[in-house]
Structure 1
Amino acid sequence: MLPDFLKDSYKQYKDDTNRFAAWLVNMAKACGYNLDTLPTPSHESKSNSRAKGKQRQKKVEQDTAPEPKLYQVSVREMYKLAEVVSKSSVKVPPSVLAVAKRAITLRKAITSYFIGKGSSASNRRHAYFIEVLEEICKSLSSDDGAGTLLSGKEDDNADDPAWLNRFASLTVEAAEDTTETVSEGRELVKVVAVEEDEAADPGDQDARFLSHAFFRVFCLFHDLEKWRNFLSQTWTEYSDRKIDLMTASIITDSALQLAEELIQETVADMPSQFPQDSIGLQQLVYASLSMRRGKRMTPDTHLGLTFSLNMADIAEWTYLGVASLLESMTDVIEDDSIPLYKPDYFGLYDSKADRKKMSVPEKFNEDKLILLELLPEFCIIERFKLKLPVQDGITRGFVKFTKNKETTLWLSFAVQVLLDAIHATRTSRLDAWADLRLTGLRITKTIDDYWKLSKTHPKPQFWPAEGDKEIKNIRECILSFVERNPLQPMKDMSSRRLGGPAHASSDHLIFSRNPVLCGLTAFHLNLRMQTIGQALVTQWYDVQELAFLYNLVQQSPGRSISWPDMELFIKVHGEERIFLGNRPKDASQSLNRLEIVTGISSVTRFASDARQRSDWHSPDGKSGRKLEPTTKVANIFRERYQDDAAADKSEPIIYSSQVSKYLDELSETSTDKKKPKKSKEDKGKELTLALSSADQLLGRRWQNTHNVGALQLLALIKGKLRQEEPILLFNYFAMHRRSIEIMRLIKAKEHHKFVQYFTEGYMPDETLISNLVILIHHVARGSAASGQQLGLGKKQTQITSRMVVSCSDVMREYLAKHGDDLGKELRVFCRNTDFLAIKDGKADKKEVDYDSMYVFGLEQILSPGQLESLRTGIPLA
C-alpha cells in the first residue's frame, strides 16, 4: 500500500470530510452545543491508539496528554452543527471552506459517472452527501445564517429527471491547494464523518455495494487518469526538448510503482461482493457504465475491436482495450518458447501518421501492432533470463506476464502509459533511443580519453584497482547493451532451432520501443560515471588544488583569467566544500585553507590520531575532503538505479526514507524567512505567495501535515531532476585531464625555480603533480612576506609573486582554447542549460539558440566516426 505520507484521491477525500466535520464539532462546542448527543464508536481506544510517522516525533507534553474523544458525525448532524455555527459570530477561515470544496469537487466529479442508475435510494445516497455539504458551505459563508435547507427534500422523487438535473447543475469552484491551516493548535476532539451508506443496516447490501465501495473504485480510476495525463504531458515536454530523457523516465517509473501500490490497496479493501482481482474491477466499471448509458456491451468484432464502439471512451478510461490485447496474447505464449513471425506480418506501424485524425479502430490496431512487436522481445528476456543493467516497471511487468499469463489492471495501465509515451514522441520516434546512443558515445569518448591520459604517467599508488575495473565495466555495459543488440544472438538461436531462416528484425527493438527503459539506462550509466569520476578527482585531488591556484591568480591585481569550467565546478560543489568558506583573499589565507583541505595542516599533522606526518600532500583519498554528489533528488533514486542488482529490486523507491528527509529539508528552506503575522489582509496574499513557488507551497504543506499528494510529489521531483541534469552530467574525467595538462605546462616552464627553491626532489613522480600548487602557494606567501618586510607593499596593496604571474600566463594561454570545453559539452547534451549560464563567475544572460548549438556542438564533441555511428546505428569498429 501507499506510504502514509502520500494521499490518493480517496484518502484525501476522507481526510477532508473528517477535518471539516472536526472543525464544525469544535466550533459548535465553543458555541455551547452539547456533544453528548453525538455517537462515539465502541472501538475508539483500539483504533486510535497508534501513532504514525511524524506524530511519534511530537513534543513530550503532547504525547503525554490524554487522547481527544472520538465522535461519529452523520450528514444530518453536520447540518445541525453548521446551523449552530452559522448563527454565531464565528468567522469561517477560507482554508476550512477550501477543504470542504475540495471534497465536494472530487465527490461530484466521480458521482457524475454513475448518478441516475440503480435504485432511487442509491441515487439519493450518491448525491445527498454532496448536496448537503454545498448547502452547509453556503450557509457558513453567508451573513444571513442557515435557513431551512433540508425542508421538503425527503419528499422529492429520486427518479425524477428534474431532481437529477438539479444535482447536475450544482456548481463547485475548484479548491485551490492552499497550505493546511484548518485547525490551528491541537484539536479538542477527533471526528469521523459518516455517510449514509456507511451507517446503514449491514443487511442493506445494495447500499454498501453500490454506493461507497463504488465511489472508491471510481476514485482509483480517477487517480489513474490524472497520473496518465500527467505522464503523457511529461513525454510531450520531452519531445519538445523541455525536459531530458532521464527525468521523464524516472517520473514515469515512479508513477507506475505508486499506481501498483494503490491498485493493490484498493482491491484488498473491496467488499466481498466485488471482484477480488483488479481486471474484474475494470470489467465491473465498464459493465456498470454501459448499463447507465443504456448501451450494449457486445464488442464490435467486425471493426477489429474487443469492445463496443459506443463505449470506446469508457474502455480507454478503464484500460479494458489494452487488457483485451494482453489477454489475446496469452494464446500464443507457451512455456519455453518464443513467438516469432515475419516482420510486418500483422501490419506496418507508421510513426508519421497523425493519430489525432485516426478512428477508434485505427488507433486500436496501431496499439496492437506496437505490442505485437514487443511481445517476442519480452519473451526472450524471460526465457533466457537476460539481466539488463536496469529494469523499468513496464519491462518487469511484461516479462512477468509472459511467464504467468495474468492480465491485471496495473499491467494494463503500465502498457497504456508506454503506448502514450511512444505516441507523444512519434514525430521523432527514435528520440529516446538516439539519446541513449548519444549517452553511450559521450561516455565512451570520455573513457577512451582517460585511458590515453593514463598511459602518460605511472600508475598511482593511491588509485585502487577497483577504480579502473569499474571504468572498464561501464565501457563493457555500453558495448553489450547499446552498441550491440543483446537480444539478436538469442533470436538467431531460436530461428536455427526451428530450422528456418533468421528474419532480420528492427535493431534494439527493446530500447527503440521503450523510451522509459532508454531513460533509466542512461540514468544508470550517468550515475556510475558521476560516482567514479568524483572518486577519481577525490583521490588525485588535482582539480580542487588547481581551484586554489585559479583563485590565487584571480585575486592578483591585473592577472584575472577566464575559466568557465572551473567556475562551474565550484558552483556544483559550493565554495564551502572547495575553499572551506568564501574564496581566500591572499596567498597566506589560501595556503592555510589548502593545507586544511588536503590534510597536511598543523592541526591535522599534530592531531592525536595522526599516524603519518608530512610537510607535503600525498594523495590517498583519505586526508583530503571528499567530493559528494550534490544532486539531492537524483540521490534518492541512486540505490535503485545504480547498483548492480538494481534490475532485481521491486520495492517502490518512493518508500525511501530519503524522500521524507528531502521534504523535511524543503520545508525548512521554505520557512527560513521570517513569517509575518497573519492578519486579515495578509490571508488574501498568502495563497498568491504560496502558489508563486511550488517548493514553498509543498514545503509548507509538508511542515503542517506531513503528507502530500502523489501528483504533487511527482511534479516536484520532475522539476528538481530537470534542474540537476547538468550537475549529473558534469565531466570529472575531463576536469582531471585539464588539470594534469595545466600542471605539466607550469612544471615545464618553472622547473628550474622549483629546483632552486625545493631541490630536485620536489616531485617524486608525476602522480604527485598536484603538489605543485602547494609549492606555488609557499613561494607566493614568501614573496608577500618579503615584500612587506622591505616596505614595498601598502596596507591596501597586494604583492604578487613572479611565479603566480608566470602561472597566470600559462593558464591564460591554455584556457583560451580549453577553458569552456566542459560547458560546450553540457550545452550540447543537456536539455536544461539555465544552470550553465556562467561567465567569469557570474550569470550570463545572453540569449543562445540551443537547437543550433546542439547540431553544431556535436561536431565538436564527437569524432566523424562517432557521428556516423549515431546516424546509421552501426557500432564503431
Structure 2
Amino acid sequence: MLPGFLRDSYKQYKDDTDWFATWLVNVAKRSPQDPGSNVELSAAADNKYATTVSQLLAHGKAVAKSAIDVPASVLARARRAIKLRNDVTSHYLGKGDVASNRRHAHFVLVLEEICELLEWKTSKEKKDGKQPPPTDAQAWLNRFAALTVEEAEDIPESIAAATSKDIVKVEVVEEENTEEGRDAHLSEAYFRLLCLFHDLENWRAFISQTWTEYRDLKIDLMTASVVTDNALQLARDLINEVVDRWPHELPGGQMSLQELLYENACLARGVIEPPSTELGMTFNEKMADVADWAYVPTATLLNSFVPVMQKDTLPGCFGTYDPQADRANMNAPEKFNEDKLILLELLPGFCVVEMFNVPIPVKDEITRGFVEFARDKQVSLWLCFAAQILLDTYHIMRRSRLSAFDDLRMSGLRIARVIEDFWKLSKTHPQPRFWPKEGDEEIKRIRDCVSTFIEQDSLQPIRRAAAQEISHDLSEHPDHLLFSRNPVLSGTLMMHLNLRMQTVGQGLVTQWYDVQQLAFLYNLAQQVPGGPKLVWPDIEVFIKIHSESRIFVGDRPKDASQSLNRLEIATGISSAARFACNSRHRGGAFHRPDTDGSQNARALQPTTKVANLFRPLYMSGDSSRVISHASVEKLLDELSAEATAKTGKPKKGKKAAKELVLSAKPQQLLGRKWSNTHNIGPLQLLALIKSKLSEEEPVILFNYFGMHKRAVELLRLIRDKEHHKFSQYFTAGYMPDESMISNIVILVHHVARGSAMSGQQLGLASGRGSQVVSRIVVSCRDVMSAYLKKNGDAACRELRTFCKNKAQVKVLMGSGDDLRDRDADESFGYWFGLEEVLGPTAMASLVTGIPAA
C-alpha cells in the first residue's frame, strides 16, 4: 500500500471533492436559503455524511444566495478536481460514444456549475472595470497560490461560530446509471483504474526524462538509478493497493485489469477488430497507443517466456538487438519485435541468478522482480510496468547502451586505485592501535566486490558450469550482460560501493584525526602576515562538507591560544589535566600526544540528507521500506526549515499568494506545502529526491582516503624539517610511533601559544596591529605552501573528473550558485506543477518566475 502521506491522483481527487463538499454542506446548513438547513445531518459509521451530486448542487445554490464570502482556496480545490478528472478520462471518453461522455462528465458539470455560482463571491474588493479579465494562466496561478499559501484557519472564518464538533465531514456519492448495461463499467471504480494508469504514465514519463538527463550528462548514474528504483517500489505499492480494493464483481486479477482497460478503449473508439496476429501481436495495430498505455505488449512478451522457463534448462536468445536501428521510423510490429529481442536477451540472466542464487551485493527492483518471475512464473501488472521502464531506458540510451556499465567500471577502477594506494601507505607505518581490525576487513571486502562484479564477470563461470552439467550448448553472451543490460542495477551497485567507501573513509579520518588537525594548522598558518598566500582547496571543501562548527567546534579560531583550546576540545586532550599535581602523566610526559585521543575525537558523520535516507537499503542491503512517513517527514521538515530560514516567515492572506508563487522556488513551495498539509504527491517526492541527490554526488564521491594519504605525507614533511625543535622542546620521545604523527599539530600549537605569551610579556605585541608570530608556524606554512602547490587540489580535480554534476562541484568549491539553482528548478518545477494539476502556461510561469501574459 502506498504510504499515507503520498497522494496519488485518485486520493487527491477524493480529498479535493470531499473537502469541497464538506465546506459547502457545513456552510449551507447555516444558510436560511438552503432547502435542507432544518434537516439534521447524520454522519455515517466512519463519521462522514453522504451527499449526492444533486444535493450538492442545491447546497451550492443556497450558498450563492447567501451573504457568505467564499475563500479562494475552496474554489481552487474544486477546480483542481475538475481538471484532474477531465485529464484522466479524456484519453478514452473524448472519443466515441457521446452518451457515455455525457454520463461520465455529469459530476464534473455539476462541480463546474457550482464554481460558476460561487466565483463572484471570492473577492471582497470591488472589481475595477478598467482592468482586463485575467487569463487562464493567471487564474491558475491565483488558484495555485491559494492552495499553497492559505492556512487551514482561513477556512473556518466563513463557517460562523462553528466548532470542530459541529463540522460534519461529507463524502460525495456519485449516482450510478444502471439503466444501460453497457455503461456499468463507467463507474467510480473504473475511474480509479484510469487514475492508476494515469499515474503510471506520468511516472514513466518522469523516469524517461531522468534517464534522458543522465544520457545528456546532466545527472549521475546513482541519482538516475535510485530515483528509478524507488519509483518502481512506489508503483508496486500503488498497484497492489488498487488491485486489493478492486470490486469482486468485475473481472479479477491484475492481467484482467489491463485487458479490461484495453477492451473498453476499443469499444469507446469504435474499433471492433481482431488482434493483428499475422504481425505477431496480441492487440490490434490501430490500438497500439492504448495497448502501450496499458502495458499489453510487455505482458504478451512476458507470458510468452513462461513456457520456456523449465527446470534444468537454460533459455537462449531469439535474435540480436541492433542499437543502431532507427526506432523512430519503425512501425508498431517492428517496435514490438525489437522489444522482444531486448527482453528475451536479458531474461536468461535473471534465470541464472534465481537458479544458482547468485549473491549480488544489492538488488534493484527490476532485478528483484524478474528473479521472482523466474521462480514463480507469475506475470503481474507491476512486472509489466518494470519491464517497460527497462525497455524505455534502452531506447533512450540506444546509441550508447553500455554507458551505464562504463560508468560503473570507471567507478570501480577508481575505488580499486584508492584502496591500492591506501594499502601501500599502510605498509610504511606501524599498525595503529586505534584503527580496528574490522576497518581493514571492510576495505578488503569492498576491493573483493569490485574484483568479483566489475573487473570480472561472476555469472559467466556459473553459466558455463551449468551448461556443461545439463549437456546444453551455451550460446555466447557478452561479459557483464546483467549489468550492461540493466542500467538501474549498475547504478545501485555504484551507490552501494560509494556509500561504503564514504563510511569507511570517514571512519578512517576520524580515527587518525589527521585531516582535521591539519585544518587547524592550515587556519593558523593563514594568519601569518607576509609571505606566500596559503591556498588549500581540498581542505576548504572538506570544511564546507562537514561545516566549520563541526571541525573547529565553532567558527574559525582567531589566534594560537584559541586554536589550541578548540583543538583539545575536538580531540579530547586536556593539557590542564596533565599539569595537575595528581596527573597520571608524570616525568614530564604532559607534552606527549594522547595515544587514545582518537577515541574521544569528534566523529565525522555523513552530511548527505537524501543519501542517508537510502543508506540502509543500498549500503547494507536492508530490503525494508525506505520511503516511510517517519523518514520522509524528517527529510522534508529539515528542507522546509531551510526554506523558511532563507525566505523568512511566510505571509498570510490572499494578496500575498501570487507574489509568493512567482518569487519562491518550487522546492521552497514544496516545503511550505508539506508544513501546511503533511502530504505530497509521489512525483513531487521523486523530483525532490532527484534534485537533492544529484547535488550530493560530489559529497558522496569525496575521497577521504586520498585526504588521509596527503595529510600523512604533509605531516611527515613537517616532522622531518622540525624534528630537532620537537626533540628540543618535548624530548626525543615526543612521538610514540608514526601512527600518532597527526598529534604533532598539537605540539606546534603549544609552541605557537608559548611564543605568543612570551611576546606579550616582553611587550613585543603592544603596538597597534602588531602580532607575534611563532617561527615554527612560519616554517609549517612554508612546508605546506610548497606541498600544496602540487597536491592541494587533488580531491577537487578528482571530483571534476568523475562527477557528472559539474555545476554542483563548482558550488562546493565556492562558485556557480546561480547556475545550480536554474538547472535544478527548471526540471523540479515542471513535475511539481504537474501533480498540482496546473496548465502548461501556468507551470512555465511557476518555473521561470515570469508572470503569465
Aligned partner of residue 599 in structure 2, secondary structure:
coil
Given candidates 577, 594, 609, the residue that maps to 2:567 is 594
Query: Where does residue 489 of structure 1 map in the other structure?
Result: 461
Aligned partner of residue 681 in structure 1, secondary structure:
coil
CA distance in 2, matches of 1:320, 1:438: 38
TM-score by length of 1: 0.85
CA distance in 1, matches of 2:279, 2:184: 39
Q: How does 1:25-424 map to 2 (within 5 A)?
A: 25-29=25-29, 31-32=31-32, 36=37, 40=41, 43-44=44-45, 47-48=46-47, 70-115=48-93, 123-142=101-120, 176=144, 178-179=147-148, 181=150, 183-184=152-153, 189-197=167-175, 209-296=185-272, 298-341=274-317, 346-424=318-396
The answer as to 2:619 corresponding to 1:642 is yes
TM-aligned CA deviation for residue 276 of structure 1? 2.5
Given candidates 649, 653, 657, the residue that maps to 1:683 is 657
TM-aligned CA deviation for residue 405 of structure 1? 1.1
Further displaced range: 428-437 or 35-44 = 35-44
Query: Where does residue 523 of structure 2 map in the other structure?
Result: 551
**Letter matched to residue 23 of structure 2:** W
Further displaced range: 695-704 or 527-536 = 695-704
Query: Where does residue 839 of structure 2 map in the other structure?
Result: none
Counterpart contact for 1:377–1:509, Cα < 8 Å: yes
The answer as to 2:18 corresponding to 1:22 is no
Aligned partner of residue 554 in structure 2, secondary structure:
coil
TM-score by length of 2: 0.87
Query: Where does residue 701 of structure 2 map in the other structure?
Result: 729
Identity of counterpart residues, as a percentage? 54
The answer as to 2:674 corresponding to 1:696 is no
**Letter matched to residue 28 of structure 1:** A
Counterpart contact for 1:23–1:182, Cα < 8 Å: no
CA distance in 2, matches of 1:795, 1:619: 42
TM-aligned CA deviation for residue 141 of structure 1? 1.5
Given candidates 488, 505, 509, the residue that maps to 1:516 is 488
Further displaced range: 479-488 or 671-680 = 671-680
Aligned partner of residue 18 in structure 1, secondary structure:
helix
Counterpart contact for 1:39–1:73, Cα < 8 Å: no
Query: Where does residue 654 of structure 1 map in the other structure?
Result: 627
Using a 3 Å threshold, how does the CA distance of structure 1 residues 753 and 810 change in structure 2: closer, same or farther?
A: same
Using a 3 Å threshold, how does the CA distance of structure 1 residues 766 and 136 change in structure 2: closer, same or farther?
A: same
CA distance in 2, matches of 1:604, 1:125: 85
Q: How does 1:814-853 map to 2 (within 5 A)?
A: 814-837=787-810, 842-843=814-815
Counterpart contact for 2:568–2:574, Cα < 8 Å: yes
CA distance in 2, matches of 1:371, 1:575: 51
Deviations 1:765-806 (A, max 9, x none): 000001110000011111111111111113533321110100
CA distance in 2, matches of 1:100, 1:193: 14
Further displaced range: 271-280 or 325-334 = 271-280
Query: Where does residue 865 of structure 1 map in the other structure?
Result: none
**Letter matched to residue 636 of structure 1:** L
Counterpart contact for 1:38–1:73, Cα < 8 Å: no
Aligned partner of residue 189 in structure 1, secondary structure:
coil
Counterpart contact for 2:457–2:479, Cα < 8 Å: yes
Using a 3 Å threshold, how does the CA distance of structure 1 residues 706 and 424 change in structure 2: closer, same or farther?
A: same
Counterpart contact for 1:463–1:620, Cα < 8 Å: no
**Letter matched to residue 104 of structure 2:** H
CA distance in 2, matches of 1:10, 1:75: 18
CA distance in 2, matches of 1:506, 1:415: 21
TM-aligned CA deviation for residue 675 of structure 1? 2.8
TM-aligned CA deviation for residue 612 of structure 1? 9.8
Greater relative contact order (Cα < 8 A, sep 6+): 2
Using a 3 Å threshold, how does the CA distance of structure 1 residues 795 and 604 change in structure 2: closer, same or farther?
A: farther
The answer as to 2:48 corresponding to 1:11 is no
Deviations 1:109-168 (A, max 9, x none): 2232443899998654411100111122122213699xxxxxxxxxxxxxxxxxxxxxxx
Deviations 1:489-513 (A, max 9, x none): 1111122234355432111110111
Using a 3 Å threshold, how does the CA distance of structure 1 residues 206 and 797 change in structure 2: closer, same or farther?
A: farther
Query: Where does residue 775 of structure 2 map in the other structure?
Result: 802
TM-aligned CA deviation for residue 842 of structure 1? 4.3
Deviations 1:345-386 (A, max 9, x none): x33211122222221111111110011111110100000011
- Aligned residues between the structures: 785
Aligned partner of residue 72 in structure 1, secondary structure:
strand
Using a 3 Å threshold, how does the CA distance of structure 1 residues 474 and 358 change in structure 2: closer, same or farther?
A: same
TM-aligned CA deviation for residue 108 of structure 1? 1.0
Further displaced range: 508-517 or 292-301 = 292-301
Aligned partner of residue 73 in structure 1, secondary structure:
strand
CA distance in 1, matches of 2:243, 2:174: 23
Query: Where does residue 851 of structure 2 map in the other structure?
Result: none
Aligned partner of residue 555 in structure 2, secondary structure:
coil
The answer as to 2:420 corresponding to 1:448 is yes
CA distance in 2, matches of 1:789, 1:838: 45
Using a 3 Å threshold, how does the CA distance of structure 1 residues 144 and 603 change in structure 2: closer, same or farther?
A: closer
Counterpart contact for 2:549–2:555, Cα < 8 Å: yes
CA distance in 1, matches of 2:504, 2:5: 34
Query: Where does residue 134 of structure 2 map in the other structure?
Result: none
CA distance in 2, matches of 1:818, 1:285: 63
Using a 3 Å threshold, how does the CA distance of structure 1 residues 109 and 845 change in structure 2: closer, same or farther?
A: closer
TM-aligned CA deviation for residue 533 of structure 1? 0.2
TM-aligned CA deviation for residue 730 of structure 1? 0.5
Counterpart contact for 2:3–2:629, Cα < 8 Å: no
TM-aligned CA deviation for residue 574 of structure 1? 0.3
Query: Where does residue 860 of structure 1 map in the other structure?
Result: none
**Letter matched to residue 247 of structure 2:** P
Deviations 1:741-762 (A, max 9, x none): 0000000000001011111010
Counterpart contact for 2:17–2:172, Cα < 8 Å: no
Deviations 1:313-336 (A, max 9, x none): 011000011000000001111124
CA distance in 2, matches of 1:747, 1:250: 46
TM-aligned CA deviation for residue 679 of structure 1? 4.7
TM-aligned CA deviation for residue 7 of structure 1? 0.4
Using a 3 Å threshold, how does the CA distance of structure 1 residues 322 and 183 change in structure 2: closer, same or farther?
A: same
Given candidates 604, 611, 617, the residue that maps to 1:627 is 604
Further displaced range: 120-129 or 524-533 = 120-129
Query: Where does residue 572 of structure 1 map in the other structure?
Result: 545
Query: Where does residue 500 of structure 2 map in the other structure?
Result: 528
**Letter matched to residue 608 of structure 2:** T
Using a 3 Å threshold, how does the CA distance of structure 1 residues 320 and 337 change in structure 2: closer, same or farther?
A: same
Using a 3 Å threshold, how does the CA distance of structure 1 residues 803 and 603 change in structure 2: closer, same or farther?
A: closer
Query: Where does residue 160 of structure 2 map in the other structure?
Result: none
Using a 3 Å threshold, how does the CA distance of structure 1 residues 299 and 286 change in structure 2: closer, same or farther?
A: same
Counterpart contact for 1:547–1:566, Cα < 8 Å: yes
Query: Where does residue 862 of structure 1 map in the other structure?
Result: none
Counterpart contact for 2:104–2:186, Cα < 8 Å: no
**Letter matched to residue 77 of structure 1:** Q
Using a 3 Å threshold, how does the CA distance of structure 1 residues 585 and 513 change in structure 2: closer, same or farther?
A: same
CA distance in 2, matches of 1:415, 1:4: 27
CA distance in 2, matches of 1:321, 1:511: 24
**Letter matched to residue 78 of structure 2:** A
CA distance in 1, matches of 2:376, 2:208: 29
TM-aligned CA deviation for residue 605 of structure 1? 8.0
CA distance in 1, matches of 2:691, 2:5: 20
**Letter matched to residue 803 of structure 2:** C
Counterpart contact for 2:44–2:50, Cα < 8 Å: no
TM-aligned CA deviation for residue 404 of structure 1? 1.3
CA distance in 2, matches of 1:218, 1:634: 34
TM-aligned CA deviation for residue 299 of structure 1? 1.9
